Amino acid sequence: MARFGIDQSENGRLDIRMASIGQEIEAYFIPSVSPAEGAPAAARADAGVKLLGLVRGSGELRIYPINTLYGTSGYLGPKYDQIRTLVVEISAIDPYFEESELETVLEVLPAGFVKDYAYGLGLLKDCNRIIRLIEKHTACDEIAFTSADESAVEGRVFRLGMSRFAEMWSEIRRINDRGNRAAGRVKDAFVHNDLATVLGLVSMDFSLGRHPVSRVIAKAADGVEELNDQERDALIATLTSESAGLAKARPEKFQKLHREIELVSLDHLIASYEESLEKGENEQYWQTFFDNNAFALQQVFGAPMVSVQSQATVGGGSLAGGGDKIADYLFKNSLTNNVALVEIKKPTTRLLDTREHRTGVYGPSKELNGAVTQVLDQAYQLTSNLATLKHNSRRWDLESYAISCFVVAGRTPPPDEPSKQKSFELYRANSRSVTIVTYDEILERLRLLRNFLAPTDSGTAEG
């Protein structure tokens, strides 16, 4: 068996041998420092520590991951618990290369692989989670990295397409980059706040970042651990069952917790509303949105109102029945039982004509006029049929003293169009029987409420 000794690092060298079959080339690791006599590593060294195997002309490299770091546990033994072989298809290998050029093969290994045998060949540390996952859930002792786009278990071989592996490695690197940036923001904020008083600076909050992974990492770096779904359910159940006791035993802290929960809920509602508004969702979407978030729709009122019925029939029969006279929403005053009707249109509904009626004057659009007339007709029908509706629906807590009518439609004309702003305000201010509210006005009311509820610096100090 021919030998070609190659000096490399301080840990050891490669001993490249031609196998007896004449085509397979093998590379063994020869440690620079012989293991202590009688140690397990000594027996492994005597048996031969094979790192590589290559059949010349096949383009298939067999890697045997071995721990080559002297002084560590399992020295010269398998690098992984179960996986013993990594097989890599390398088309760039010259079928006529010389034995002494075997090290050049390592240079063409794909990204994500260890290319310096002194550190034990195999996958880079961050890719070892792939190894651990395969070992945990399969009986495989070999991973074959193939040119096909695949991932499959075949007996004791796990087949993984090289393109799939490259995508995984790229995403792992991106996660690392996001983590480093997120941790850096937390560190910068910590140093800034720790020295803020001395330097006469105002304290700062670190940015969570926009990417979901970045947000999780930033919170973790600040000591905030994200709960899983099971832990969240358990926490909610505990708060629900213990809320009465907490309110009685710790009223101040319970009140603070209650306020913070409300703020988080309000923040979520505002973010969801903003996103939906920017997407220009249709009328049916907003009907469902307000069904699920009645609090947002309640911002159109100046009195304590509660929802009675969505898609309410006002032309006869029962409130929940079918008919051709249907109001989007029926509300009532929780103190007087006086009813109110809300008709919703799209955020993209035009509020004004596109052409000026006179210089600097715009009339209401056909769509807005139609919505106003529609809700007025619904109010007329409800007044005429309320007694029947109450009887058939078994709802006696409804009164039509003076039905309030609301239209939610469109978006407020922008500041750079003052003539349209003026025309819109003149029109709706003189529409005495119907209150017109735009979608962005609801959003602004939610934001103002959020700012009002947010704790001030003086209010956050613990007593």
Choose between 69 and 65: higher pLDDT: 65
Q: What gap in Å lies between CA 319 and CA 309, rounded to an integer?
A: 7
82 pLDDT tier (thresholds 50, 70, 90): very high
Hunting for tokens 């213990």 — which residue is that? 242
Give percent of the chain with pLDDT exceeding 90: 31
Q: What gap in Å lies between CA 354 and CA 341, rounded to an integer?
A: 28
Q: What residue ranges do the domains of the chain occupy?
A: 3-146, 229-277, 280-450
pLDDT in tens, 163-217: 999 999 998 888 888 778 777 877 888 888 889 888 888 887 766 666 665 655 5
Choose between 252 and 418: higher pLDDT: 418
Position 227 pLDDT exceeds 60? no
Average pLDDT over residues 142-161: 91
Mean pLDDT of all residues in the chain? 82
Q: What CATH number should be reported for the domain whose range is 280-450?
A: 3.40.1350
Q: What gap in Å lies between CA 356 and CA 422, rounded to an integer?
A: 12
Average pLDDT over residues 217-234: 58
Position 1 pLDDT exceeds 70? no
Check residue 3 and give its pLDDT.
44
Check residue 436 and give its pLDDT.
94
Q: What gap in Å lies between CA 207 and CA 398, rounded to an integer?
A: 50
460 pLDDT tier (thresholds 50, 70, 90): very low
Nearest 5°: CA angle at 210, between 209 and 214?
55
Q: What gap in Å lies between CA 257 and CA 265, rounded to an integer?
A: 12
Check residue 6 and give its pLDDT.
43
pLDDT in tens, 288-316: 999 888 889 888 888 888 888 888 888 76
C-alpha distances out from residue 448 to 147, 148, 293, 452, Å? 58, 57, 17, 6
Please tell me the least confidently modeled range out of 23-27, 161-165, 234-238, 306-310: 234-238
Structure tokens at 341: 């009707």
Check residue 457 and give its pLDDT.
47
Check residue 459 and give its pLDDT.
41
Please tell me the least confidently modeled range out of 138-147, 231-240, 409-418: 231-240
Please tell me the least confidently modeled range out of 20-29, 118-127, 371-380, 414-423: 20-29
Structure tokens at 213: 């992974």
Average pLDDT over residues 398-425: 92
223 pLDDT tier (thresholds 50, 70, 90): low
117 pLDDT tier (thresholds 50, 70, 90): confident
Check residue 34 and give its pLDDT.
83
pLDDT in tens, 430-453: 888 899 999 999 999 998 888 887
358 pLDDT tier (thresholds 50, 70, 90): confident
C-alpha distances out from residue 444 to 127, 261, 282, Å? 48, 20, 20
Position 78 pLDDT exceeds 50? yes
Position 330 pLDDT exceeds 80? yes
Sequence-ordered alpha helix ranges (H) in 60-107: 102-107
Q: Which long-range contacts (CB under 8 A, 24 or more apart) does 5-8 make?
A: 5/30, 6/100, 6/103, 8/103, 8/117, 8/118
End-to-end CA separation in angstroms for the chain = 82
Check residue 454 and give its pLDDT.
72
267 pLDDT tier (thresholds 50, 70, 90): confident
Position 233 pLDDT exceeds 70? no
Q: How many CA atoms lie within 13 A of 140 on its CB side?
A: 24
Check residue 322 and give its pLDDT.
62
Q: What gap in Å lies between CA 31 and CA 13, rounded to an integer?
A: 7
pTM: 0.49
Position 218 pLDDT exceeds 60? no
5 pLDDT tier (thresholds 50, 70, 90): very low
Check residue 222 and give its pLDDT.
54
Compute the CA torsion angle 289, 291, 293, 299 (nearest 10 deg): 100
Sequence-ordered alpha helix ranges (H) in 115-160: 128-137
Look at strands 338-344 and 399-408 and give their pairing.
parallel
Average pLDDT over residues 397-410: 92
